């Protein structure tokens, strides 16, 4: 007899690598529900075979999620139970599912979380960075300009910063972290719970050198964690130092925007504020 609740959508966390991390509850429910909505049915089929389960499946990914809402809502309305799974970890956390869950909640359907593996939580638990407050940004933009812009917008946040990154962009991301955030401590968690799980730490520049020495360290999926901004230096001394730096850069012919970027990376603070100060110095308004 099934214990799955009729008309409920179960949001089921699945392993991020080690199959032993699947909870007994999650394994049982995957064998009891009427339908499994999976990001990649081929990937999930391997998990179900491991469990000895032959549940009906329906694909649900970023390209068809909105179109699946009506069908899945009809299943729940008919009293069927559905499990939502992603390829790895907890659905909705940088994975499909938000559109569906929001739509079903708006219709009064029952949503039941089945917690378990989550890469960002697993990485933070072993990184040695502060975890009382953190900012999760998912995947940074793929294009360099947008990525640096996002990082500049986070530069003053004092919480631990957490990102996901793919192997083909990890070097570019580390280069941008070095350019925008300087010497802050960075921890890379790679291939979590898998055979070659690795934690690397150091400045972004040092980690880039490590990846150059050992290209194998650039393989796999990454959780990138960065120490939050240090306390800002207060008082007149900081202002004097900043003005001196900006004046020297402007005297060398560096543009206002570029000078502001250098000051923000070197001394901290908002690039916008440094831009205004540099412009005032250039215009002779100080």
pLDDT at 58: 98
**Bridge pairing between strands 8-12 and 110-114:** parallel
Q: In the structure encoding, which two tokens stand for residue 12, read together?
A: 């089921």
Return the DSSP state at 228: P
- Cross-strand pairs, 160: 134
Q: What is the mean pLDDT of the chain?
A: 93
Q: What's the alpha-carbon Rg for the chain, to the nearest Å?
A: 24
Gap between the Cα atoms of 158 and 117, Å rounded: 26
Under the banding of pLDDT at 50, 70 and 90, the label for residue 34 is very high
Structure confidence by residue, pLDDT tens digits, 202-233: 999 999 999 999 999 999 999 999 999 987 65
Closest CA to 155 of 226, 83, 68, 52: 226
Pick the range with the lowest mean pLDDT from 231-245, 251-265, 266-280. 231-245
- 181 has a pLDDT exceeding 70: yes
- Checking if the pLDDT of 180 tops 90, the result is yes
The three-state secondary structure class of 107 is: coil
Reported as a single tens digit per residue, the pLDDT across 74-129 is 999 999 999 999 999 999 999 999 999 999 999 999 999 999 999 999 999 999 99
Per CATH, the homologous superfamily of domain 120-226 is Tetrapyrrole methylase, C-terminal domain (3.30.950.10)
Give me the mean pLDDT over the 46-66 stretch: 96
- Provide the CATH number for the domain formed by 8-117 in this structure: 3.40.1010.10
Q: 91, 38 in Cβ contact below 8 A?
A: no
What does the alpha-carbon distance between residue 267 and residue 121 come to, in Å, rounded to a whole number?
A: 31
- Map out the domains of the chain as residue ranges: 8-117, 120-226, 236-283
Q: What is the pLDDT of residue 234?
A: 47
């Amino acid at each position: 007899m099934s214990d799955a609740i009729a008309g409920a959508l179960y949001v089921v966390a699945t392993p991020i690598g080690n199959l032993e991390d699947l909870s007994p509850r999650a394994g049982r429910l995957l064998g009891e529900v009427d339908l499994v909505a999976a990001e990649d049915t081929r990937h999930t089929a391997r998990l179900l075979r491991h469990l000895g389960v032959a549940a009906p499946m329906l694909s649900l990914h970023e390209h068809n999620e909105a179109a699946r809402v009506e069908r899945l809502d009809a299943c729940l309305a008919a009293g069927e139970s559905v499990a939502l799974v992603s390829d790895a970890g907890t659905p909705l956390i940088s994975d499909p599912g938000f559109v569906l869950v929001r739509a079903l909640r708006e219709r009064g359907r029952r949503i039941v979380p089945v917690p378990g593996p989550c890469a960002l939580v697993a990485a933070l638990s072993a990184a040695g960075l502060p975890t009382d407050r953190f900012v999760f940004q998912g995947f940074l933009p793929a294009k360099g300009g947008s990525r640096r812009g996002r990082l500049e917008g986070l530069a003053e946040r004092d919480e631990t910063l957490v990102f996901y990154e793919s192997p083909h962009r990890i070097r570019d991301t580390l280069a941008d972290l070095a350019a925008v955030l300087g010497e802050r401590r960075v921890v890379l968690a790679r291939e979590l719970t898998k055979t070659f799980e690795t934690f690397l730490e150091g400045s972004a520049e040092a980690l880039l050198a490590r990846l150059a020495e050992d290209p194998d360290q650039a393989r796999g999926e990454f959780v990138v964690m960065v120490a939050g901004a240090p306390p800002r230096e207060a008082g007149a001394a900081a202002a004097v130092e900043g003005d001196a730096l900006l004046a020297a850069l402007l005297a060398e012919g560096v543009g206002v925007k570029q000078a502001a970027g250098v000051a923000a990376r070197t001394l901290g603070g908002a690039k916008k504020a440094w831009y205004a100060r540099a412009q005032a110095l250039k215009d002779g308004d100080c």
